[in-house]
Structure 1
Amino acid sequence: MSTLDDLPPLRDVIATHDLRAKKSMGQNFLLDLNLTARIARLSGRLEGAQVLEVGPGPGGLTRGLLAEGASRVLAVEKDARCLPALEEIAARYPGQLTVVNGDALQIDVGAHLDGPWRVVANLPYNIGTELLVRWLTPASWPPPWSSLTLMFQKEVAQRITAQPGDKAYGRLAVLSQWRTTAEIVMTLPPEAFSPPPKVHSAVVHLTALPEPRFPADATILERVVAKGFNQRRKMLRAALKGLVPDLEDRLMAAGIAPTERAERVSIEQWCALARVIAD
């Protein structure tokens, strides 16, 4: 498929607007419109949906989202060089695409979308993890988004979906699976991108749960988990040292042996520890 619509192929768009990917901005452009349409579909039925896209670049995924029926797409792009290409897409889909030139970490999405919205994005590698943690830890739950369909380095995707005892199990797995169902739905080789990254990539689909799996204060849970996995080779009584008084008593009250290591503690146990600490 060279095009989803009557717009030019992405290679022509990149050549016309001189959109060479910048390593400093974490850019790796996905040029195959078959793949971008497939990623759009992996987010679910898009007819009438509102979508936030971060880092659209030349607009391949943007076009896929709109062609699949999204009623409104908010595309947040920091690189001003991409704006003319995105405005051409906006002209093709009048009233459906809003392009914001800015930092995704600073944008008030609620000012543009009235939700619930989905997030579908080939995230810039340099801010992907930070954005994910922000989306997973809002002040209240459920969040204003219903699902996240995000492309990461494959290693990061595996960290999101890992289970206790897995080498990749850590902070991202706990925070993601505490409040969502998360699964890897697609993998892509380096040669799918321009320029090719040094690693494989994967798309993760996360669906927000109505309630977290276990009660816990998000701020406390994030702090405890981050500290526990920061020194994952150590026993928890050492890794969490200084976090709270009577640490070993609190660990045992949460059903966790003080000699246990972070990678073997379940999400339910982490939440129990967060509650004990909050009390």
Structure 2
Amino acid sequence: MANRGYDVVVDVDAEGDLGHTDLQEDLEFHSSNFNDPPNSRSKIVPDDLPGRSSPSSGGSSKRFLWTLSFYSQFFDVDTAEVTKRCLAAIFPRANFLDVLEGNPDLYGPFWIATTVVMILFLTGTISMYLKWNGKGYFAYDFKLLSGAAGLIYGYTGVIPIALWGTLKWFGSESANLLECWTLYGYANIIWIPVALISWSPINILNFVFVSVGFAISAVFLFRNLYPIVSAIDVRTSKILLIAVITLHAGLTIAIKILFFAHNSPAKKNKGHEDDDDKLIKMLF
């Protein structure tokens, strides 16, 4: 029989016994610690797969500030996940950090803040229009838009940085800047329904709506920041929590006065004269 790659000779006697074979002597059991280097027949994995680092990179994936991959990691969420987080912010049944599951994002906070800015401008303009007496022409005041953008973006962007820096200064190990931004960003979700119903000419009703929005968002921030802030000194943690609630109350008062009060200084309509202007013209 021609040689076809077989290197073991088997002798069979007349009684069908295999007899002695060379194969029996070659069978041995070898111990292994699974740390041996792979042989030449190991599976070769291509280095150009997404998310896989090349051997020359030392096993670490580097992301620099000027690359899109650095910023894309902060927006790694889908619509279902953002919706789930928005509902958890309005109805805070569980700790929001547990809802994040270690994946805080900036996608939801950015679009929530942008939506709040646009709705504040829209409802503030409606509220200003209801005050208009119909004389002259009605002029849109785009200072409301810039004011809303400065207020919401400034509060959502600057306060978390200050809080995170303070916690780090006092030795907090659990403080995370991205989580602080995410908390404050999703806390703004309550201002969307509040702004939609707070444009009525009934001032006391607007006050009630804004107060409810403050209560829900303040409880949300207090509940989720307390485990982080309480890790530092007791006295310092109390001062920080009081400062957080006080600054949030300041945001609420600013929203109420600038956008939902009919005698707001930010809603002076240039299309008609108020009583003070008429009195000045009569005197002079």
TM > 0.5: no
> So what's the TM-score if we normalise by structure 1?
0.24
More RCO (CA 8 Å, sep 6+): 2
Larger helix proportion of the pair: 2
TM-score scaled by structure 2? 0.24
Structure with bigger gyration radius = 2
